[in-house]
Amino acid sequence: MVEVVKRIGLMGGTFNPIHNGHLVTAEEARVQFALDEVIFIPSGKPPHKSERKIADAHHRAMMTLLATVTNPYFHVSQVEIERPGYSYTYDTVSYFQELYQGQAEIYFITGADAILEIIAWKNVEQLFEKCCFIAATRPGFDLSAIRSSDLPQSAKDRIFYMEIPALAISSTDVRRRIREGRPIKYLMPSAVETYIYKNKLYLK
């Protein structure tokens, strides 16, 4: 029997809220790297963001679902939300390796800023044995900090770069706009915008 290895993109994030920067990045990665699907994984409450206002996990998961439902290649996993405590990327990637019984090549999609945080982690070499990374950069992004890090060359070879149009959208800016009564239209799918207002999210 011929073994069919699937190419799976994982897109982790707080998604507080999800916006078009996330969606453009995931779609570009899917096409450039011929991924069979991209799975969005909203995080549980990450400790490093705990001081900031984070909407309840069920709201973030619902907005992620609303944002991705029209793309047949996009899916949402609740694995990090359902797991107690903070989820490490290593555990999440291991979960999907097991789910696909080793019959998947996993590509973890992140912004290049997030790659810098990841390569500073402990046990990062084990993580690179489990998956590759696709780092979204903006045109002109300086890669020297990644290239000059002490990450072994074998791991560096597993980071692929993808330039995406300069989308200066961030969840932080979206939340600030809502607090200040400024528009968020066209920064995210309209169903997400409606959901935010309907549930009075991010007003303070």
Type of residue numbered 35 = L
Instruction: Identify the bridge partners of residue 11 per DSSP, sorted by sequence position.
Output: 40, 109
Q: Is 13 in the site for ligand ATP (CB under 6 A)?
A: yes
The total of other beta-carbon atoms located within 10 Å of residue 179's CB is: 11
Type of residue numbered 85 = G
Side-chain-facing half-sphere of 179: CA atoms under 13 Å: 9
Please select the residue that binds ligand ATP; options are 56, 91, 113, 157, rule is CB under 6 A.
Answer: 113
What backbone torsions phi and psi does residue 152 show, to the nearest 5 degrees?
-60, 150
What x-and-dash track marks residues 154-193 binding ligand ATP by CB under 6 A? ----------x--x-xxxx---------------------
Q: Which two tokens stand for residue 140?
A: 């002109």
The minimum distance between CB 4 and ligand ATP, in angstroms, equals: 28
Q: Is 89 in the site for ligand ATP (CB under 6 A)?
A: no
Give the range of 15-23, 79-87, 97-105, 151-159 binding ligand ATP by CB under 6 A.
15-23
**Can you give the binding site for ligand ATP, defined by CB under 6 A?**
13-16, 21-22, 25, 110-111, 113-114, 136, 164, 167, 169-172
